[in-house]
């Protein structure tokens, strides 16, 4: 999971609120407002990554607006710009899988620092809690969030494992492998947190 540094609410949203006084999220349906919100969040705040699975979203149509606190359960949050992310459209993970799941254990990439909570099992590509103590708050929150987003679904695990196999080749063959790994990150490769973890091995 990637930290999302939310910026100020964009002017297009402020103007839209002034013009239409939306009463619910369903009223955000004119002037291309959803596409504008999506573009601002995805390109500027998330640098074209899905914050949940860390895969790149190259095309704006391959992502959707995700309400961290689900809008069906927290209808008053619809005006809260900090509650909005853009998730990828993978059916089996992230925003689509999460649906209405949410409680205060959920690691919120806008508020929390995901790096503190997650680590990787480089033998199989699984994302795991950083804190091994099962009774710790950090462990419980990480487990809840991994399950809520299905971050260890087959597709994601296999994709991470494939990247690990490549990183392993670099590690075995190059002394300066950290520099190569930095290229992967600078290039906007999928799974930057996994690559950073590898750089610390
Ligand atoms: Zn995703």
CA-CA distance, 132 to 129, in Å (whole number)?
Answer: 7
Compute the distance from residue 88 Cα to the ligand 1 centre, in Å.
Answer: 4
Q: What is the pLDDT of residue 148?
A: 98
Q: What does the DSSP assignment read for 91-158?
A: TTSHHHHHTT---TTS--TTTS-GGGTEEEETTTTEEEES---TTSHHHHHHHHHHHHHTTT-HHHHH
In this predicted model, what pLDDT tens digit does every residue of 36-56 receive, in sequence order? 999 999 999 999 999 999 999
Between the CA of 92 and the centroid of ligand 1 the distance, in Å, is: 9
Query: SS3 of 74, please?
Result: coil
pLDDT value for 190:
98
Q: What's this model's pTM, rounded to 2 decimal places?
A: 0.96
Buried b (16+ CB within 10 A) or exposed e, 146-161: bebbbbbbeebbebbe
Averaged pLDDT, 8-34? 96
**Positive or negative: CA dihedral 69, 72, 75, 80:** positive
CA 39 to centroid of ligand 1, rounded, Å: 16
Q: Are 4 and 110 in contact (CB under 8 A)?
A: yes
Q: How far is the CA of 26 from the centre of ligand 1 (A)?
A: 24
């Amino acid at each position: 999971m990637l930290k999302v540094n939310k910026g100020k609410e964009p002017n297009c949203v402020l103007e839209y609120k002034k013009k239409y006084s939306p009463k619910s999220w369903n009223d955000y349906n004119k002037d291309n407002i959803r596409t504008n919100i999506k573009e601002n969040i995805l390109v500027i705040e998330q640098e074209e990554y899905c914050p949940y699975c860390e895969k790149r979203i190259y095309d704006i149509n391959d992502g959707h607006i995700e309400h961290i606190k689900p809008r069906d359960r927290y209808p008053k949050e619809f005006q809260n710009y900090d509650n909005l992310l853009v998730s990828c459209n993978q059916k089996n993970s992230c925003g689509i899988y999460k649906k209405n799941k949410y409680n205060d254990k959920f690691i919120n990439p806008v508020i929390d620092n995901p790096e503190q909570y997650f680590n990787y099992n480089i033998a199989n590509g699984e994302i795991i809690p950083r804190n091994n103590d099962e009774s710790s708050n950090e462990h419980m929150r990480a487990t809840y969030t991994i399950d809520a987003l299905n971050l260890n679904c087959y597709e994601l695990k296999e994709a991470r494992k494939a990247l690990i196999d490549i990183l392993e080749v670099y590690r075995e063959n190059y002394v300066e492998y950290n520099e190569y790994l930095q290229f992967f990150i600078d290039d906007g490769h999928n799974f930057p947190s996994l690559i950073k973890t590898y750089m610390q091995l």
